[in-house]
Amino acid sequence: MNRGALLMREGYRALRGHGTPVATDRVSPHLFAQKRPDMMTDTIRPEILPHGQDGLSLRLGLTPAEQTIGAVMALREALEQTPPDGTEEIAGSLTSVYLRFDPARTTRDAVVASARAVADRTDLDAAALPAPHRRWTIPVVIGGAHGPQFGEMAGAAGLSEAAAREALLTAKLRVLAIGFAPGLPYMGLLPPEWDVPRLRDLTPNVPRGALVAAVRQVILFTNATPTGWRHVGMSAFPGFRPDRDPASPLRAGDEVRLAAMTPADLEALERDDPDGLGGARCETLR
Amino acid sequence: MTGTLTLHRAGPGVTVQDLGRPGMTAQGLSQGGAADRLALHEAAALLGLRTPVPALEMAMTGAEVSVDTPTRVALTGARMQAMLNGQPVAWNATHLLHPWDRLTIGAARAGIYGYLTPAGGIATAAVMGGHGAHLTAGIGTALGPETVLPLGRDPDPAARQTVIRTDDRLSGGTLRMMPGPQTGLFDDATRARFHATHFTRSRTGNRQGVRLDFDGDPFSSGTDSLASDIIRAGDVQMTGEGVPYILLSECQTMGGYPRIGTVLPQDLPRVAQAAPGTEFAFREMTVAEADALWQPDQDVLKSLKAKVQPLRRDPHDIPDLLSYQLIGGVIRGDETED
């Protein structure tokens, strides 16, 4: 058993030792990044853990393995379709689904039981992500002055700049989670060669609208920020607009295609953006 | 009648705050709202309101305000020096402001966040369902001098002045903590050491969270390359250096540091109000114990209303009774009797 799984089992004993009334699922080693081949037939099931007096975490892993990301998306969608009574909100990260409930209307035990029932009848092992409801096409300028670390990123992925550009423009990205900052989309996954770690030294000030890449994912920044992700391109896409409804145009699960635009296109959008979406288009698929 | 409130002077951390914007986690927006939610409930209890209303939150330093329409205000939260036309007035109490009055609120004497709540609330336009500033999200701003804010109608400007006795929450103490999703990542020895450690509130802290200082080895979870996961106010994160941060209302919605547990929301006002150097310890609770302490906001307000009393004034506390009455402009005749 790997160290992570061992710690988790100990953790579980510790939690149970506290008289935790939350029934907790057996921890499957399958949930960890270092899978043992002989465990591959295990079924993915969420651990259901407390998160505040009115919250739960349904956790499918500690690291964002491809299969974990798919299971999170499937479970979140299933819970959104059949929310337990008393549910106040549902959100997701790359590895877990968060559910907040109203203790005036329900109990933790009841929410845990119905969330587990939803998980049990949902196929969390399917390799493919659930089909997207919407597809966005977001124009970006890749490389050059607008993506000063693009060449370095292509090199780290072992690709020519042309091949890296082609990979970004043909990837069928999904919004895996929104978070960290309001409206900030984590999108992925890119092919395995893009599994490049974040830089150890932060780039001090990467601008709003920047397309950044690391660990098989890309993000479009909603505000200027220091980051260890490599700055590979630039968009005019506003990820968060508090004066609009919804404030965050993207939702977890949306498909995203990046489309090439020129620096002149970008300048034109920065001057005049009639839709307030940085030239992005959204199609409803189902 | 509605009116306006003018800020003639404002400290650097004056914002409009209400109870925040719950339900936006999926959009990456934390609930936000008053750092000390209890102070907004106390204000509602003092003013006899059915629910808390948007107020001015003042971090460390207060403000000087006037109104153009008679309205009551409640002063709650961190204890700040308050003067009405140069005369000291009571904290944790209501005061009627007339258009010719100046209310001056100085630096915090204890605690961090003081609140000035007009009885009709501050009636700025709602953004994403809330009136409060969420500075990390770019919603609203800190308010500068000469800001004019719209006020809602005071439902009962003639209501008697009230005062509330509060339990101390400005000087640290023991924080109740429940297990969270990542408590199990810390081994028994580390958790036992954490719960036996005395912490002090560091100089680093704001509406997003406060850092705690302590003597001893860092608290490590033994996990690296943990994926970022959903975080919420009350979570106690261990940074890469193994130092705890207690997250407050304006925290991010996702974080990659392991979290040893979650401080109960009932104890977060105590965290928010702790000045640097304030001492804390943690007490571990089971999930069942923590859940049993959950209280809806309406119950919190109801129990606070039971503690509200008329403001009794002793003539000896009023340095110049005559000038007070002249400046105050209203003599009900019962000020010294009730």
B182 and B272 share one domain: yes
Q: Are B118 and B5 in contact (CB under 8 A)?
A: yes
Domain count, chain A: 2
CATH number at residue A157: 2.40.100.10
If asked whether residues A72 and A178 sit together in one domain, one would say no
User: Per-residue confidence of chain B (338 residues) as pLDDT tens digits?
Assistant: 489 999 999 999 999 999 999 999 999 999 999 999 999 999 999 999 999 999 999 999 999 999 999 999 999 999 999 999 999 999 999 999 999 999 999 999 999 999 999 999 999 999 999 999 999 899 999 999 999 999 999 999 999 999 999 999 999 999 999 999 999 999 999 999 999 999 999 999 999 999 999 999 999 887 766 888 999 999 999 988 899 999 999 999 998 889 999 999 999 999 999 999 999 999 999 999 999 999 999 999 999 999 999 998 755 555 444 444 444 444 333 333 33
Claim to verify: residue B60 and residue B188 sit in the same structural domain:
no
Partner residue facing B128 (CB), from A50, A55, A247: A247
Host domain of residue A52: 3-120
| Residue A238 to chain B, least CA–CA distance (Å) | 13
CB neighbours of B235 closer than 8 A, spacing ≥ 6? B180, B246, B247, B251, B255, B259, B261, B262, B263
Identify the bridge partners of residue A47 per DSSP, sorted by sequence position: A59
B159 plus B214 within the same structural domain: no
Q: Is residue A16 over pLDDT 80?
A: no
A contact test, residue of B19, B21, B24, B29 with most A CBs within 10 A: B29
CB contact under 8 A, A62 and B293: no
B336 located within any domain: no
Which of residues A91, A120, A149 is at a domain's end? A120
Residue A3 has pLDDT above 80, yes or no: no
* In a shared domain, residues A97 and A203: no
**Distance between CA atoms of residues A154 and A17, nearest Å:** 50
Token digits for A189?
């996954």
Q: Tell whether B155 is covered by a domain.
A: yes
Whether the ω angle into residue A189 lies within 30 degrees of 0, i.e. cis, is yes
pLDDT, position B224: 66
Say if residue A138 is in the same domain as residue A37: no
In a domain, A249, yes or no: yes
In the prediction, which pLDDT does A42 show? 59
Is the predicted pLDDT of residue A28 greater than 60, yes or no?
A: no
Of B75, B83, B81, the residue nearest B57 (C-alpha): B75
φ, ψ (nearest 5 deg) of residue B100: -90, 5
Q: What is the three-class DSSP state of B74?
A: strand
B297 within a domain of the structure (yes/no): no
- Looking at the structure, do residues B282 and B239 belong to the same domain, yes or no? yes
* pLDDT for B2: 83
CB atoms within 10 A of CB B62: 26
Q: What is the CATH number of the domain that holds A88?
A: 3.30.1360.40
Single out the residue of A107, A246, A237 nearest to residue A185, CA to CA: A237
- CB-CB: which of B128, B187, B223 is closest to A62? B223
Residue carrying the six token digits 């924080």:
B175
AA identity, residue B46: L
The continuous run of DSSP H or E covering B199 comes out as: strand B199-206
pLDDT of residue A35: 37
pLDDT at A185: 96
| Both tokens assigned to B222 | 């033994």
Q: Are residues B314 and B269 in the same domain?
A: no
Domain boundary (A93, A120, A147) is at A120
For residue A208, is it within any domain? yes
Residue B300 lies in a domain: no
Q: Count of H helices and E strands in chain A?
A: 6, 14
In a shared domain, residues A138 and A99: no
Tell me if B294 and A103 make a contact (CB, 8 A cut-off): yes
Q: How many domains does chain B have?
A: 2
pLDDT above 90: residue A200:
no
Q: Is residue A274 part of a domain?
A: yes
Is residue B37 domain-shared with residue B113, that is, in the same domain? yes
Residue A220: enclosing H or E segment and its boundaries?
Answer: strand A217-220
Residues B135 and B248 in one domain: no
User: Is A129 domain-assigned?
Assistant: no
Clarify whether residues A278 and A139 are in a common domain. Answer: yes
Residues A50 and A116 occupy one common structural domain: yes
Extract the tokens encoding A163.
Answer: 């091949």
Q: Are residues A95 and A218 in the same domain?
A: no
The answer to whether A154 and A160 have CB atoms below 8 angstroms apart is yes
Q: Do B87 and B134 fall into the same domain?
A: yes
Cβ contact (<8 Å) for A251 and B29? no
Q: Which of A79-93, A188-202, B191-205 has the lowest mean pLDDT?
A: A188-202
Please give the pLDDT value at position A33: 36
**Cα–Cα distance for residue pair A27/B310, rounded to 1 Å:** 58
In chain B, which among 264-303 make CB contacts under 8 A with chain A?
264-265, 284, 286-288, 290-291, 293-294, 296
Task: Determine the pLDDT at residue A133.
Answer: 95
Residues B211 and B280 both lie in one domain: yes
**Is residue A54 in a domain?**
yes
Can you tell me the distance from the alpha carbon of B224 to that of B236, in angstroms, rounded to the nearest whole number?
17
B24 and B162 housed in the same domain:
yes
Those residues with Cβ within 8 angstroms of residue A29's Cβ, 6 or more apart along the chain or in another chain: A1, A2, A5, A35, A36, A39, A42
Is B54 a member of any domain? Answer: yes
Answer yes or no: is B302 within a domain: no
A47 belongs to a structural domain? yes
pLDDT at B315: 54
CB contact under 8 A, B230 and A108: no
Residues A91 and A160 in one domain: no
Same domain? For A51 and A110 the reply is yes
Is B291's CB within 8 Å of A53's CB?
Answer: yes
Q: Cβ separation of B180 and A93 shorter than 8 Å?
A: no
Which of chain B's residues have a Cβ under 8 Å away from the Cβ of A3? 222
Please check whether residue B301 lies inside any domain of the structure.
no
Q: Is B213 on the interface with A (CB under 8 A)?
A: no
Q: Which pLDDT tens digit goes with each residue over A141-153?
A: 999 999 999 999 9
Is residue B338 in some structural domain? no
Question: Does B252 lie in the same domain as B153?
Answer: no
Write out chain A residues lying below 8 Å of B183, CB-based. 11, 14-15
Same domain? A43 vs A87: yes
- Residues of A in Cβ contact (< 8 Å) with B253: 91, 179-180, 182
Q: Verify that B155 and B223 share a domain, yes or no.
A: no
Single-letter amino acid code for the residue at B156: D
* Mean pLDDT along residues A263-283: 95
Boundary-marking domain end, from A95, A120, A145: A120
Residues 6+ apart with CB under 8 A from B316: none
Token pair of A145, please?
Answer: 């002055």
Q: State the average pLDDT over residues A233-262.
A: 95
Taking the C-alpha atoms of residue B193 and residue A223, their distance in angstroms, rounded to an integer, is 39
pLDDT at B211: 96
Note whether A170 and A265 are same-domain residues: yes
Is A108 in the same domain as A213? no
Domain ranges, residue B243: 173-292
Inter-chain CB proximity A52 and B296 less than 8 Å: no
Q: pLDDT over 70 for what percent of chain A?
A: 85
